[in-house]
């Protein structure tokens, strides 16, 4: 057969091949060329959603200078831009980290990690699409916003622009000397830089910079509430979704005075940089000369028992200075600007499986927990900063409420133990935030995710593949992002799973468009999700734990209820209210 070599060469020129040392670059469609306000261009790539809908992906976009060398432990510096074209077709690496929740021993990621991704429908019509900015969870010590875990394949079935980003983690992102040498909160300031980048650049992608919804889960959810508090973030977000986290959760609250500096000093000791006494400038210079991998590896040396305290490097109160993100404790701050913003907020029914899945499946951990309960519970639930007498008083109250029948919890009888961790780590803090929101003039939509799916996040936290303990922390993420394609490769979604995924995507996207998760009246048969008018709150229970097989009529996947886990939330509010008065004043009544 004769070959038309001219046609063949023309075809090859439109492809991207690498043959030996010969690389032929592909032509990019015009819609994949985007010019940013600084004059430089991005060349993105074409991708498809779960159903095959076309979208544009611009990946690995730098939003700040690499935080390396002299910029380590400093606030991010805006990326000044570039000339000409920049290829944006693959994810940047994650920020350097060690993952205690999955009990990893390895170090992942790189220090030069301040990049973001932008996903849009293809084609984009006009410049009015709402923006959804995602901040990932992981305790501010692990995770990545631009990994395939949080890909766009589900959300981009709808007309939104999705922005996901990395931010620095662990000691590289949250080390604080409590002085101006290193005031701290650099990971939160990275997020702030993302929001500023969105304000300045997102219109180039066909999106509306005045319609930005920030959403996040766990530490990402707490981050959302911090941006609703910090004056630095005022005007950069217009709606918010806080999933399983607020700044009132004990692990998310700013470290008490002296704690952050003490941990910074311990790090200098571990890294052989403590010989400079109180000279933080010299000690930081020494730390900047060490390998980032060695610094991150020391995270595990900050834990006292198992992986507690859960977050050794949390946010901090900074000394007053230009660029400070947080200078007042949330309970001491004036009513935050975020009170004026619509909010969606909720928890999962068994958040505490983040901890108890491992306790139930690693016998040595459970034995230690039961044997040293009085000593370990204050550490696990973050009330070890109180005097010993107050700690003992709190522990006795907790025992009498959750363990009336004694410490007889096991795999088949763990609900009270899981409820304890759920409430102490998540529910009580979210409840306090809802109480604060009762003063808001903007709508608040509350949910409880309570679903049994084909796969559970308790597997990730050492819970075993074939056992269902409940709706674990992070469980709802697999219905918003294609996480299951990597984490749960052998799980086949049920019909209910698929229906719940479609429901939640519509709710989240509708909220991002209008501040109301409900569709325009008459355009859908979705159940109505009412904002809570009062406290105790009205909330939507999402999902079902009933198996679809053999059940004639399943309950709707969204149903309105009243008083979110109120009996348990009331216990924690009363417990805080009855702490010793002097300690309550000095420690801000924090658990």
What is the Cα–Cα distance from 64 to 80, expressed in whole angstroms?
Answer: 8
What is the Cα–Cα distance from 309 to 294, expressed in whole angstroms?
Answer: 21
What is the Cα–Cα distance from 168 to 582, expressed in whole angstroms?
Answer: 37
Output phi, psi for 349, to 5 deg.
-70, -30
What is the Cα–Cα distance from 146 to 134, expressed in whole angstroms?
Answer: 9
Contacts of residue 171, defined as CB under 8 A and 6 or more positions apart, other chains included, come to 267, 295, 296, 298, 299, 313
In the block, tokens 């306000």 appear at: 37
Q: CA distances (Å), 264 to each of 68, 270, 383, 467, in order? A: 18, 10, 21, 40
Contacts of residue 466, defined as CB under 8 A and 6 or more positions apart, other chains included, come to none
In the block, tokens 């076309």 appear at: 54
Longest Cα–Cα distance of the chain, Å, equals 93
- Is 218 known to be catalytic? yes
What is the Cα–Cα distance from 136 to 166, expressed in whole angstroms?
Answer: 8
CA 175, 178, 180, 185 dihedral sign is positive
Q: CA distances (Å), 209 to each of 213, 318, 514, 549, in order? A: 10, 29, 14, 46
Classify residue 217 as exposed, middle or buried by CB count within 10 Å of its CB (0-12, 13-18, 19+). buried
Q: Which of 211, 218, 233, 456 is catalytic?
A: 218
Q: Which of 111, 351, 432, 476 is catalytic?
A: 351
What is the Cα–Cα distance from 289 to 537, expressed in whole angstroms?
Answer: 52
Q: Which residues are catalytic?
A: 218, 351
């Amino acid at each position: 057969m004769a070959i038309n070599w001219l046609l063949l060469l023309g075809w090859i020129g439109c492809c991207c091949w690498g043959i030996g040392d010969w690389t032929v670059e592909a032509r990019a469609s015009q819609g994949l060329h985007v010019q940013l306000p600084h004059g430089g261009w991005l060349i993105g790539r074409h991708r498809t959603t779960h159903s095959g809908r076309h979208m544009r992906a611009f990946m690995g976009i730098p939003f700040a200078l690499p935080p390396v060398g002299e910029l380590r432990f400093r606030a991010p510096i805006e990326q000044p831009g570039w000339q000409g074209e920049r290829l944006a077709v693959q994810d940047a690496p994650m920020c350097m980290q060690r993952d205690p929740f999955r009990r990893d021993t390895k170090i992942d990621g790189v220090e030069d990690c301040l990049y973001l991704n932008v996903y849009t429908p293809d084609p984009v019509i006009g410049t009015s699409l709402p923006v959804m900015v995602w901040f990932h969870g992981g305790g501010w010590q692990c995770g990545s916003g631009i990994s395939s875990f949080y890909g766009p394949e589900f959300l981009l079935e709808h007309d939104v622009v999705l922005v996901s980003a990395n931010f620095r983690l662990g000691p590289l992102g949250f080390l604080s000397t409590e002085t101006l040498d290193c005031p701290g909160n650099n990971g939160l300031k990275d997020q702030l830089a993302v929001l500023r980048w969105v304000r300045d650049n997102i219109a180039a992608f066909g999106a509306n910079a005045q319609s930005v919804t920030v959403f996040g889960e766990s530490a990402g959810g707490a981050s959302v509430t911090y941006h609703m508090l910090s004056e630095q973030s005022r005007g950069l977000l217009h709606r918010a979704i806080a999933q399983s986290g607020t700044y009132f959760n004990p692990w998310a609250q700013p470290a008490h005075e002296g704690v952050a500096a003490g941990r910074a000093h311990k790090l200098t000791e571990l890294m052989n940089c403590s010989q400079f006494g109180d000279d933080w400038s010299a000690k930081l210079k020494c730390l900047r000369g060490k390998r980032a991998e060695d610094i991150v590896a020391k995270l595990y040396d900050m834990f006292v028992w198992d992986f507690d305290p859960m977050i050794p490097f949390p946010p901090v109160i900074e000394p007053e200075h230009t660029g400070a993100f947080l200078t007042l404790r949330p309970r001491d701050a004036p009513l935050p600007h975020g009170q004026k913003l619509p909010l969606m907020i909720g928890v999962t029914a068994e958040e505490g499986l983040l901890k108890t899945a491992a306790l139930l499946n690693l016998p040595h951990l459970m034995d230690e927990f039961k044997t040293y309960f009085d000593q370990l519970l204050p550490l696990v639930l973050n009330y070890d900063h109180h005097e010993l007498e107050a700690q003992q008083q709190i522990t006795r109250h907790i025992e009498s409420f959750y363990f009336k029948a004694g410490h007889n919890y096991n795999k088949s009888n763990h609900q009270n133990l899981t409820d304890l961790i759920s409430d102490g780590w998540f529910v009580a803090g979210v409840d306090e935030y809802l109480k604060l929101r009762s003063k808001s003039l903007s709508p608040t939509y509350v949910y409880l995710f309570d679903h049994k799916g084909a796969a559970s996040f308790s597997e990730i936290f050492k819970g075993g593949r074939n056992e269902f303990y409940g709706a674990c922390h992070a469980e709802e993420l697999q219905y918003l992002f294609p996480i299951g394609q990597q984490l749960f490769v052998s799980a086949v979604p049920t019909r209910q799973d698929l229906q719940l995924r479609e429901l939640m995507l519509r709710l989240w996207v509708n909220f991002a468009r209008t501040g109301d998760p409900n569709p325009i009246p008459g355009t859908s048969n979705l159940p109505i999700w009412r904002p809570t008018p009062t406290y105790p709150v009205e909330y939507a229970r999402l999902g079902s734990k009933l198996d679809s097989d053999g059940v004639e009529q399943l309950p709707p996947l969204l149903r309105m209820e009243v008083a979110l886990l109120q009996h348990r939330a009331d216990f924690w509010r009363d417990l805080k209210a009855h702490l010793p008065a002097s300690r309550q004043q000095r420690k801000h009544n924090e658990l």
